[in-house]
Each structure stands twice: as structure tokens, then as C-alpha cells.
Amino acid sequence: MKERLQQIREEARKQIGEAGTLDALNDVRVSFLGKKGALTAVLKSMKEVAAEERPRIGQLVNETREEIERLMEDAKGKMEQALREKRLKAEVIDVTLPAKKNQLGHRHPNTIALEEIERIFIGMGYEVVEGPEVEKDYYNFEALNIPADHPAKDEQDTFYVNGDILLRTQTSPVQVRVMEQGKLPIRMIAPGRVFRADEVDATHSPSFHQIEGLVVDKNITFSDLKGTLAQFAKELFGEETKVKFRPHHFPFTEPSAEVDVSCFKCKGSGCRFCKGSGWIEILGCGMVHPHVFEMCGIDPNEYTGFAFGIGLERISLLKYEIDDMRLLYENDVRFLQQF
């Protein structure tokens, strides 16, 4: 038995010395001290030892166990220290190296244009109002004096969720919702995303942005509309900018007009940017139709008002001289960094 214990000690020393990893060291522990280990087998065979020898043999077994455990703890400590030093060397930070620069984002050209437009109208006393993008047919069409058989209601132009719910084709429904509240007078703009079933090209997209404006009060005239839009154009494109109103038709305004501004590139002399005409179309407008007032519970004999609609992407394309609307949505960093 003594010889067997001595062999176990020597074999344990050898295997612990050869163990190069913590996993290998654990395997050594199991082979000697585990339930089926060599030292455990010796303990199970103690019944074969003479009674007078058992205390001394038992003491030798305990000493052998203690020695093996001590050798393993020493080896484990050295391995952990070596791993710690290796990790610290790998994770060392050279404080003399230059720091990495963070790439900060910036505002999208649409956001820049929107903030400037909002600043102009807020300066005139307007309120910025938002509304739902998923809208009822009533607010998007009927309340805006667009009958059921109007071409704008064709499913080829409008994304319908069902017969009564659709993706709004304009932000004008926000105006109807505000007028229904009956809090007069009203001075508001309603920016937001709109949706139409258009093919994607340089000037069209199925999803784009509009900014609708509305003023309702007593004694509002077309002259007020002209003065407001003339001031807006000057602040947006420059003091020398002139405006021109052309007769047009919109179901929800009467009379209606489209507005051109003098080309800020060539100052009206004619260039590629304005296609040689000296003028650039920017928005549609008109006096609010009396029937729209009636649908919203406002007396058209007491109140008048005007409305206008601006395409945000169109302003971005003009102001920053961008030739293709698709560039605004392709997220090309080379393009966005120019702004």
C-alpha cells in the first residue's frame, strides 16, 4: 500500500508538471481525486489492510491527497497569472497613439429646407401642426370638395388600405381637422410625408413630403395670399426674388393659382436651370372654397381664408441645385456630405 501511494504521488507530480492548461490540470485532478480516481481506489481498498495498519495507512492517504491538492493549487495559480499577464499585454493601450475621430452625422438637405421654411412661417405667426399619415377618405377627399368620381380618387394614384382608409395623398387633411375644431382665427402650416402611386424617376417618388399652409380669419383676401407668398419667396430665395401667379384649378380653392418665382440662378434672364424661361414653378395656392368651410362647420359668409401647398423635395432640388430627386433617398454618403 505504501508503495502504491508513493507511485501515485510521483505520477501526480509528473502529470501536474506536464499539464499546460487549466483544462488539462482539471483532468489530472479527476484522474487522481475523482470518484473513480487512483487515490479514491486506494481508500476503497482499505478494508483489505490489517486493522492495526489502517490508522497509519489512512494518514499516508491524507498526506498524499493534501500534497496533490497543494501541487494543483500552485500550478493553477501560476497558469492563471500567466493568462492574466498575456491578456494585459494584448489589451495594452498606447496613450501616445492619436485618438480615433468620430464621424458625426448632419442634417439631411430635406431637413435643412424644412427647418428654414418653418422658421420663415413661424416668424409670420404661423403654427406648425401635424396629422396622421394613414387617413380616412373623408378627410383626404370628401371634406376637401373632391367628389367620388374625381380622377384623384382613382386607385392608380392613391394607396388604399380599404374602401375608407388610405395613405394620405396630401397634408391638406390636417387643415380640415384643425378647422373642424372651430378655434378661429387659424394660421398654420402642416408639413409631413404623403404617398402617391407614382413611378420613381428624377422628379417623382411614391413617397415624398409636402407643406400645406392655411389662414382663416375675417376679411382675408387674395392680396393677403400674394403678399404672404411674396415675402416667403424673398426670405427663401433672396430679396430680389419676384413672384408670378398663373390661373389654375384645385377642387378645394376658388380662385386657384400656381406660383412661379424668378430664377435665382440667372436672375430671370434665362438659363438651363429655369429652362430659359426665367421663372420656376414652386407651389399651388388659392382662396379656400366656401363648400370646404361649410363641411368644416365654418360660416363662409363671415370667414374667408387662403391655402397653399409646397413640395418640400422640390424646394430642396431648387435651393441646392440637385438634378435628381432619387439622390435624396439613396443615402450615398458622398452626396450627403456636401450638405
Give 310's strand partners: 211, 283
Q: Which of 211, 214, 261, 213 is nearest to 234 (CA)?
A: 261
77 and 122 assigned to the same domain:
no
pLDDT, greater one: 46 or 75: 75
Please give the tally of structural domains in the chain: 2
Of 90, 122, 142, which one is at a domain's C-terminal end?
90
Q: How far is CA 200 from CA 109, 191, 203, 327, in A?
A: 19, 22, 8, 12
51 and 128 assigned to the same domain:
no
Of 62, 90, 118, which one is at a domain's C-terminal end?
90
pLDDT of residue 24: 84
Of 90, 118, 148, which one is at a domain's C-terminal end?
90
d(C-alpha 247, C-alpha 306), whole Å? 15
| Cβ–Cβ < 8 Å for 170, 210 | yes
147 and 41 assigned to the same domain:
no
* 95 falls within a domain: no
Segment 232-257 mean pLDDT:
92
82 and 135 assigned to the same domain:
no
84 and 116 assigned to the same domain:
no
pLDDT of residue 53: 67
Segment 242-263 mean pLDDT:
93
* 12 falls within a domain: yes
* 103 falls within a domain: no
d(C-alpha 261, C-alpha 283), whole Å? 10
Q: Is the pLDDT of residue 200 over 90?
A: no
pLDDT (tens digit per residue) in 69-107? 888 888 888 888 888 888 888 877 777 888 888 877 778
* 97 falls within a domain: no
pLDDT, greater one: 234 or 39: 234
* 199 falls within a domain: yes
CATH number at residue 279: 3.30.930.10
* 98 falls within a domain: no
State what percent of residues in the chain have pLDDT above 70. 95
199 and 83 assigned to the same domain:
no
pLDDT (tens digit per residue) in 291-317? 999 999 999 999 999 999 999 998 998
State what percent of residues in the chain have pLDDT above 90. 44
pLDDT of residue 332: 84
81 and 113 assigned to the same domain:
no
pLDDT band at 167 (very low <50, low <70, confident <90, very high): very high
d(C-alpha 334, C-alpha 339), whole Å? 10
pLDDT of residue 155: 58
Cis peptide before 147 (omega within 30 of 0): no
203 and 265 assigned to the same domain:
yes
Domain that holds residue 262: 109-336
Segment 194-210 mean pLDDT:
89
113 and 85 assigned to the same domain:
no
Across all residues in the chain, what is the average pLDDT? 87
pLDDT of residue 300: 94
pLDDT of residue 50: 67
Where is mean pLDDT largest: 97-106, 217-226, 275-284, 324-333? 217-226
Segment 303-332 mean pLDDT:
90
The per-residue DSSP string of 114-152 comes to HHHHHHHHHHTT-EE----SEEEHHHHTGGGT--TT-GG
79 and 120 assigned to the same domain:
no
* 7 falls within a domain: yes
* 264 falls within a domain: yes
Q: Is the pLDDT of residue 224 over 90?
A: yes
120 and 63 assigned to the same domain:
no
pLDDT band at 338 (very low <50, low <70, confident <90, very high): confident
114 and 86 assigned to the same domain:
no
Q: How far is CA 147 from CA 152, 252, 272, 276, in A?
A: 9, 11, 40, 38
Segment 14-37 mean pLDDT:
80
Q: Is the pLDDT of residue 152 over 70?
A: no
pLDDT of residue 173: 94
| Cβ–Cβ < 8 Å for 244, 259 | yes
Q: Which amino acid is at 82?
A: A
Q: Is the pLDDT of residue 193 over 70?
A: yes
Where is mean pLDDT largest: 92-96, 108-112, 304-308, 321-325? 304-308
Segment 147-157 mean pLDDT:
72
Element (H, E) at 243: strand 243-250
pLDDT of residue 233: 93
Q: Is the pLDDT of residue 245 over 80?
A: yes
